Amino acid sequence: MTDISTHILDQRMRSPVYNASGVMCRETTELEAVRHSDAGALVSKSCTLEARDGNPEPRYAATPFGSINSMGLPNHGYRYYLDYAAHYDYTDKPLFISISGLSLADNLHMLDAFQRLKRPLLPEVNLSCPNVPGKPQLGYSFDDMATALTAIHAAMDIPFGVKLPPYFDISHFEMAAEIFNRFERLKFLTCINSIGNGLVVDTDSETVLIKPKNGLGGIGGDYVLPTALANVNTFYRLCPDKQIIGCGGIGAGEQVFQHILCGASAVQVGTRLWEEGAGLFTRLNQELVAIMQRKGYQCLADFRGKLCTL
């Protein structure tokens, strides 16, 4: 019997795989489709204080090796997701709520509202939204990030996590990890959001693929797998008291296995879910089980974080 269940904090997931915020999560109908699929959990769209239409179309495009997007945080406002969380059946599977306020005050207001529900939801504060014009990524401003996390930690009575941008320099990994390790109630790190401000060009038309920001957008899919794995494994080693949720470059069970081998406790899927739909979760679970059976692993703990170096 091969067991692919996992736990985030004390909440059990029947599968380690679920949607990344931004895909199948803006509407309650989409969230319900994920809930009724073979996903192990679900996460809401990153919500803001008020509803947002997002950036002008076209703002997403598939590419040969992934995707480019500049969505601009389209969402219905936090009250919409607050109502969903208030009526959600938490005995089914864990619910993560993604928070992406346009200011620290917005984030504190929304987090307070969600924790007042007294429900076992899992807040994920998005520190890495690269696709709102004029708004920097908080995850790259270490002093500001530390200030924000200090305020959030002081205001929270329940555990929470953060969604991170990709880091590339070893010194930046170490600086970020030192900040994260200060906060006891910061329990999980989601690595990574898309690689910001890429550019994809169509040779035939000699144009960019998306409209916002002169064609610049977040890169996802196969392109980002090595960067995602590096972030998962590095923070797994530098933040031993935090759980890591992997995200980036997952299109098959092999990439799920690789994320877990690098230290991930669970794995989010974005680009491939956008293209394939909720049936993807069944395929990923089956492919992960096949790899584990071939290798003689009975549960995820048999190989989680056991990446070998040369």
- Cα–Cα dist 172/251, whole Å: 28
Helix/strand/coil for 198: strand
- Is 129 a known active-site residue? yes
CA 183 vs CA 82, 154, 200, 205, 268: distances in Å: 25, 9, 38, 50, 24
Helix/strand/coil for 17: strand
What tokens does 125 get? 């504060």
Where residue 93 falls (left for φ over 0; alpha for ψ -120 to 50; beta otherwise) is beta
Q: Dmax of the chain from CA atoms?
A: 55
Beta bridge partners of 123: 97
- Cα–Cα dist 172/58, whole Å: 33
Q: Are 223 and 195 in contact (CB under 8 A)?
A: yes
Chain centre to alpha carbon of residue 75:
16
Helix/strand/coil for 13: strand
Catalytic residue among 25, 129, 247, 262: 129
Give phi and psi for 176, each to the nearest 5: -65, -45
- Cα–Cα dist 62/17, whole Å: 22
Stretch (H or E) spanning 172: helix 170-180
DSSP 140: G
- Which residues are catalytically annotated? 129
